[in-house]
Amino acid sequence: MLSRYLSIFVILAVFSEILGTVGGFGSSVYFVPIANFFLDFQSVLGITAIYHLSSNATKIVFFKKGLDKKIILALGIPAIVFVSVGGYFSKYLDPKILTYILGFFLIVLSLLFLIFKQLRVKSNTKSAIVGGSLSGLSAGLLGTGGAIRGITMSAFKMNKDKFVATSAVIDMGVDFSRTVVYYFNGYIHQHDMYLIPILIVVSIIGTWIGKKILNKISQEQFRSFVLFLILGIGIISVMSNL
């Protein structure tokens, strides 16, 4: 099916990369539900993990001036640990039920932050550890955990470049860990490998366009945009299984 609609798939992938860059939490949050229309769920997990490695490497290069080492450690280490746990259990749990749970969770959480604008996640180490653990577990089980990480990181009031770069570094560790787990689970298929060079080009083009857009919006617009994107991700997660 994918070979017949490859051009549509690539256009949608570029769009997901742009949104993932502007939102600061990676393209997989949109790429996974898009890829689900063309590939089986296990193939989606495998191809997303490999593709996202190049996507995050591109973001680190484009946004290399901004990094928060404290957040990388506090949020990144539990994310890397729990993505391996989620990746292992992904073969035993029903992905549709998990996607519904994640979708409704993101819808409720994003609406709370949009309606009650003064509401904030506490910017402390405990919040970073909890957010990192949940985002890692979600990434391992469903192929995407960036939205949960985005909500957690928004509490620390980082500027746009630092937000994107820090998120990309954490995601790089998460993606490397789950790629290993998915390989041993048998999710990475030889017949899907032709997509990797295509998606590397997609990541470069999408990140470049996303950076251009980020340069034209304010910090407050950035925060609101992140929350609207998370709301959209929640709705797409629920709708993709109907």
Q: How far apart are CA 95 and CA 74, in angstroms?
A: 28
From the CB of residue 105, how many other CB atoms can be counted at a distance below 10 Å? 16
Does position 154 have pLDDT exceeding 80, yes or no?
no
The string of pLDDT tens digits covering residues 51-103 is 888 888 888 888 877 677 888 888 889 988 898 888 888 778 777 787 787 78
pLDDT (mean) for 164-192: 84
Q: Compare 167 and 26 and report the one with higher pLDDT.
A: 167
Whether residue 49 contacts residue 175, with contact meaning beta carbons closer than 8 Å, is answered with yes
Whether residue 141 contacts residue 93, with contact meaning beta carbons closer than 8 Å, is answered with yes
Residue type, 130: V
The string of pLDDT tens digits covering residues 105-153 is 778 878 877 887 666 667 788 888 988 898 888 888 877 777 788 778 8
- Only one residue has tokens 């506090």, namely 74
The string of pLDDT tens digits covering residues 187-241 is 888 888 888 889 889 989 998 998 898 888 886 777 777 778 778 878 877 886 6
Amino acid 2: pLDDT: 67
Amino acid 56: pLDDT: 84
Q: How confident is the model at residue 242 (pLDDT cuts 50, 70, 90)?
A: low
Share above pLDDT 70 across residues of the chain, in percent, rounded to a whole number: 93
Residue 5: C-alpha distances to residues 38, 39, 48, 190 (Å): 8, 12, 18, 19
Q: How far apart are CA 49 and CA 195, in angstroms?
A: 12
